[in-house]
A and B are shown apart, each in its own frame.
Chain A
Amino acid sequence: MAISPILRRRLRLPARVAAACLGLAAVLWTIWPWLPAGRNERPRTIILYGFGILEQTITKSVFPAFRKKWKAETGQDVELISSFAGSGTVTNQLIMGVPAELAILSTELDAQRLRQAGVIATESWKNLPHGGVINRTPFVIVTRKVNPVGIHDYSDLARPGVRIIHPDPLTSGAANWAIVAEYGAAVRKPGATPEDGKSMLLGIWRNVVAQAGSARAARTQFDNGFGDALITYEQDAIGNSSRSVSTHEIIYPRSTILSEHTLVVIDPHISEEQRELVLAFADFLWSEEAQRLFVKSGFRSVYTRLNPANQRFGTIRDPFFISDFGGWQMAKRTIIDATWKNGVLKEIHP
């Protein structure tokens, strides 16, 4: 404690030198990758914006496979510069002008918004293989282990007292899929009318206790203990190894929708020298190799013969598609806007 003033003065210089060295080391560490010595040859890049649940699959398995293939074919290194968020958020970012070369959106609705905003000139994704759809996944219900609230189908979610975590349709593609799934499950029952679809939505949305910006965020809320049930992609429920799988149960509704995820090539952002590389990666997404990787990480392939490879896929008695409701433009008008937004929401919050 009691250091003599002389000793203290003597200590001051070494202490200062040490502090300066520490500071210098920190600065050096920080700028190291940008120094000539620390920097390797700059790899080529692809800039991709994707919707939430794709992050793990694209960055950890599909892109590394492409990088390896590209390296073998051309000897060049490629790096993926990417960003993942709710599909609606990604679309808004794209409209604001982020420099994406490729975008993978949860719904075709968002692709149409891009065209309306002039980000792309035509509905070019329709000319891609499978109309731009790279993979699918059905919508399921996730409950806590041993299903304490007794949920077996969407209709059980409409029971009073069930607390539901639902992504927000404003920013999340999953939320839009989920609304069509809930509505569709009701109207596909024999003898059902559109009115039954509306009362199903009304029942479910009365029980929604939290809305998250994306399916991923909704999942994180659910994992942290909120709510009794979560409506989400099957892929998010089975595919993500980092999630706590042991604490929840997956309920397959009798009828549910298979979401279809659309690749959009943002032509105006792709320079001449980039074109070959970007389009090669786009093509690669439909290669058997990539599709197998999708299946492995919980997505259903557009080549249905590959799907048996994943034993965790559940069976759905009555799967349906957005085309059964006349495509997204029609479904948006009749189900999302007319029934849900202007009907159900107004009745719940008049």
Chain B
Amino acid sequence: MNSIAAYRRKISPLLPAGFLALVMLPLLLLPLASVFIHALHGGLGKFMAALTTRDALFAIRFSLIIAFCTAAVNAVLGTYAAYVLSRTRFPGREQLGIILNLPVALPNVVVGTSLLLLWGPIGLFGKMLEPLGIQPMFTVFGVLLAHIFVTLPYMVGSVRPVLDDLQTTYEEAAYTMGATRWQTFLHIVFPALRGGLITGALLTFAHSLGEFGATVMVSGNLRLRTQTAPLYIFSQFEGGNIEAANSVAAILAILSFVLFSLILYCAGKSRLKGARR
């Protein structure tokens, strides 16, 4: 009798988890598994061969570099935006916050198109820059611009809640002691922000790594020049090279898994710190 109760206690938490796994199986787990199955379809040798072609290597490296730069730029830009939105009061503040978050809801293709129509050779800025011999679209700069635009909300979204929760009394205390705004930010606000900042940067990195819609519009999809890993996957899939497409897709999946594990770890850590404080 007792043993059955113990058995039940052991089993019962597994049931909802089992149900979740069952629901997720056709939705997410099996499609993900099929990426790996198709990637490894022809054996490990073929998988490695598909990964080490010049185009594939370039696409992966290019994506990583763009993701890093995007995260770096947005760490500064996003934190500044979050700070302004959280610490200053001005008319239209909420509306500005909403507008900053729009790229999450807009199809990324729209973001790409709008960038193209503004900065491209037929756009307003593009026309002004053309006599100077500057053409930002269809270059690395264009890709970076699109990624910054698309991922900014994730950075703001990670930092702003921390700022909103942070009591202003610490800052006020600093000010009364004669600290400047910058000193206060550096010594009081920034240390508290670190967890949110790292989480936001990793989120930005991950989103940039997988960005497709805006990139396909602004990059010109040139292999060995502006082709990111997702664009490479799409091109290969369209060309019927399912194995090549899935090899790179598998790498992206693994990278994302590692990144999100890191995000969870960082988020957990900063929450612990918060609890201690």
Q: What is A's interface to B at a CB cutoff of 8 Å? A: 26, 29-33, 47, 52, 55-56, 79, 81-85, 93, 95-99, 214, 216-217, 219-220, 223, 240, 242-243
Residues of B within 8 A of A31 (CB): 61, 65
Cβ contact within 8 Å between A223 and B240 = yes
- What 0/1 pattern do residues 214 to 236 of B give for CB contact below 8 A with A? 00000011111101000000010
* Interface 0/1 of B30-68, CB less than 8 Å to A: 000000000000000000000000000010010011001
Contact assessment for B240 and A220 in the assembled complex, using a CB-CB cutoff below 8 Å: yes
Q: Is the interface of B mostly helix, strand, loop or mixed?
A: loop
Query: In the complex, which of the residues A97, A99, A220, A223 contacts B126, with contact meaning CB atoms closer than 8 Å?
Result: A97
A283 to chain B: closest CB distance in Å?
A: 23
Q: How far is the CA of A47 from the CA of B224 in the complex (A)?
A: 11
A-side contacts of B237, CB under 8 Å: 220
> When A98-B138, A220-B238 are in contact, do A83 and B220 touch as well, CB less than 8 Å?
yes
Given A81-B223, A82-B222, A83-B221, check contact A99 B238 (CB 8 Å): no
B 100-128 to A, binary, CB cutoff 8 A, 1 in contact else 0? 00000000000000001000111000100
> Which residues of chain B are within 8 angstroms of A98 by Cβ–Cβ distance?
138, 220, 222
The chain B residue with its CB closest to the CB of A32 is B61
Q: How far is the CA of A216 from the CA of B253 in the complex (A)?
A: 25
B61 touches A97 (CB 8 A): no
**Size class of B's contact patch?**
20 to 34
Tell me whether B71 is interfacial, beta carbon within 8 Å: no
Select from chain A the residue with minimum beta-carbon distance to B64: A30
Does B240 contact A219, Cβ atoms closer than 8 Å? yes
A335 CA to B221 CA in the complex, in Å? 32
Which of B's residues lie within 8 Å of A, judged by CB?
A: 58, 61, 64-65, 68, 116, 120-122, 126, 135, 137-138, 220-225, 227, 235, 237-241
Question: Are A214 and B220 within 8 A (Cβ)?
Answer: no
**Of the residues B116, B120, B137, B225, contact of A81 by C-beta under 8 Å:** B225
Q: Are B122 and A97 in contact (CB under 8 A)?
A: yes
Q: Which of B68, B138, B225, B239 sits near A55, CB closer than 8 Å?
A: B239
**Assembled-state Cα–Cα distance A150/B120 (Å):** 50
CB distance from B4 to the nearest CB of A (A): 28
Residues of A within 8 A of B64 (CB): 26, 30
In angstroms, how far is the closest chain A Cβ from the Cβ of B14?
20
CA A179 to CA B240, docked complex, whole Å = 24
Q: Is the CB of B116 within 8 A of A96?
A: yes
**Pick from B65, B221, B224, B235: contact of A79, CB under 8 Å:** B224
**Docked pose: A214 CA to B238 CA in angstroms:** 9
Give A216's nearest chain B residue, CB to CB.
B238
Partner of B239, one of A56, A83, A97: A56
